[in-house]
């Protein structure tokens, strides 16, 4: 049933300090671009009645490039990200995933922070951010803390955020120039589809040897995950025409030991696991070229 908007209150503070003060009662729900929240509201699923708009907070909308890292404010839109030259050059998987997130109109409003905090296991940007070893800075009126993004997701739609906290910054180290990078999303169609399964990978090769590899997946568990077992099976392995089949077989087997996909309306656990292994093979064979 559609919700009655008169049942909801929206406060729109002018500054981050004000927003954090309001949030300290633990009873407000942040709303950024609103592209998730408004769908929940329209369909009568939004149980939180006190909304706190953070959409216009300039303090949350920035991309800052420093020598060692790129800092992205949680309120940065996907359009901002797609238009950023340094991100395009160094973090192509983030650009790719931003371009998959809904339509252009959606990308003009939807924020990176909203994509992460919504905590869908199928969201588009988490696999890339996991590969890139991102950290996230969470802020409240009593201080801030920075944690590895890999520790942010705590279960299905559960995150490390406390009710009085906002996600402030996503930070990615600038070490990926020269890495081979891969991202593929499998959905019901090419555009405007929520993924059934997605795999992101970055790998550094010294000659034919993999000296660093990081894999991130969507819908391979109840939350976005790094694939540590598959990574371990691939580290220091040779990517050569002679060795590739053996390496792929070991990596596929390792991935299946750690896969914990869920059955839901979009797909089955069995399909997700099988296709994830196929995507991993696709990535590894692309390293031969
Ligand atoms: C038509 C359509 C298509 C879509 N397609 C895709 C798709 O292909 N892939 C995909 O991944 N998503 C898709 N989405 C979902 C949505 O657009 C994205 O998840 C988007 O990034 C959400 O960002 P937002 O700023 O609009 O979040 P909001 O709706 O404002 O918020 C989402 C959640 O995050 C919380 N939140 C937001 N910002 C913060 C913050 N800074 N700190 C703490 N909590 C915060 C909110 O409280 C809420 O729980 C689609 C949505 C629509 C309507």
Q: What is the Å distance from ligand 1's center to 129 Cα? A: 16
Burial of 185 from C-beta contacts in 10 A (0-12 / 13-18 / 19+): buried
Q: What is the Å distance from ligand 1's center to 6 Cα? A: 23
- Which tokens in the block code for residue 106? 């959606």
pLDDT band of residue 248 (cuts 50, 70, 90) is very high
CB 62 within 8 A of CB 71: yes
Q: How many C-alpha atoms does 79 have within 13 Å on its Cβ side?
A: 9
pLDDT band of residue 192 (cuts 50, 70, 90) is confident
Strands 143-148 and 209-218: unpaired
Condensed to tens digits (0 to 9), the pLDDT of residues 195-219 reads: 899 999 999 999 999 999 999 999 9
Burial of 25 from C-beta contacts in 10 A (0-12 / 13-18 / 19+): exposed
33, β-bridge pairs:
none
- The Cα 28–Cα 8 span in angstroms is 11
C-alpha closest to that of 131 among 56, 183, 169, 88: 183
225, β-bridge pairs:
217
Sheet holding 166-173, edge to edge: 63-65, 69-73, 166-173, 135-140, 143-148
Best residue among 93, 106, 190 to mutate for probing ligand 1's pocket (most ligand atoms within 8 Å of CB) is: 106
Q: What is the Å distance from ligand 1's center to 33 Cα? A: 7
189, pLDDT greater than 90:
no
Residue nearest to atom 21 of ligand 1 (CA): 115
Rg (CA), the chain: 20
Condensed to tens digits (0 to 9), the pLDDT of residues 82-91 reads: 999 999 999 9
Place of tokens 């406390």: 162
pTM of the predicted protein model: 0.96
Q: What is the Å distance from ligand 1's center to 179 Cα? A: 29
Q: Give the pLDDT score at 188.
A: 84
């Amino acid at each position: 049933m559609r919700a009655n908007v008169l049942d909801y209150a929206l406060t729109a503070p002018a500054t981050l300090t004000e927003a954090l003060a309001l949030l300290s009662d633990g009873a407000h729900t942040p709303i950024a671009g609103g592209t998730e929240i408004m769908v929940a509201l329209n369909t009568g699923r939004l149980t939180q009645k006190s909304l706190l708009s953070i959409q216009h907070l300039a303090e949350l909308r920035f991309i800052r490039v420093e020598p060692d890292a790129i800092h992205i404010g949680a309120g940065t839109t996907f359009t901002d990200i797609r238009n950023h030259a340094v991100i395009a050059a160094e973090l192509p998987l983030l650009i790719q995933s931003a371009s998959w997130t809904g339509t252009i109109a959606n990308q003009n409003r939807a924020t990176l922070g909203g994509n992460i905090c919504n905590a869908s296991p199928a969201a588009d940007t988490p696999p890339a951010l996991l590969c890139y070893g991102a950290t996230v800075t969470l802020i409240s009126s009593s201080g801030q803390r920075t944690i590895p993004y890999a520790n942010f997701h705590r279960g299905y739609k559960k995150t490390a955020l406390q009710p009085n906290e906002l996600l402030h910054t996503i930070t990615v180290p600038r070490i990926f120039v020269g890495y081979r990078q891969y991202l593929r999303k499998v959905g019901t169609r090419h555009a405007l589809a929520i993924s059934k399964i997605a795999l992101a990978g970055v790998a550094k090769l010294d000659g034919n040897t993999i000296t660093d590899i990081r894999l991130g997946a969507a819908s391979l568990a109840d939350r976005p995950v790094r694939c540590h077992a598959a990574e371990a099976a691939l580290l220091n392995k040779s990517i050569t025409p002679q060795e590739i089949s053996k390496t792929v077989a070991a990596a596929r087997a390792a991935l299946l030991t750690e896969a914990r996909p869920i059955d839901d309306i979009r797909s089955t656990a069995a399909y997700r696991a099988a296709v994830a292994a196929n995507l991993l093979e696709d990535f590894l064979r692309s390293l031969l070229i």
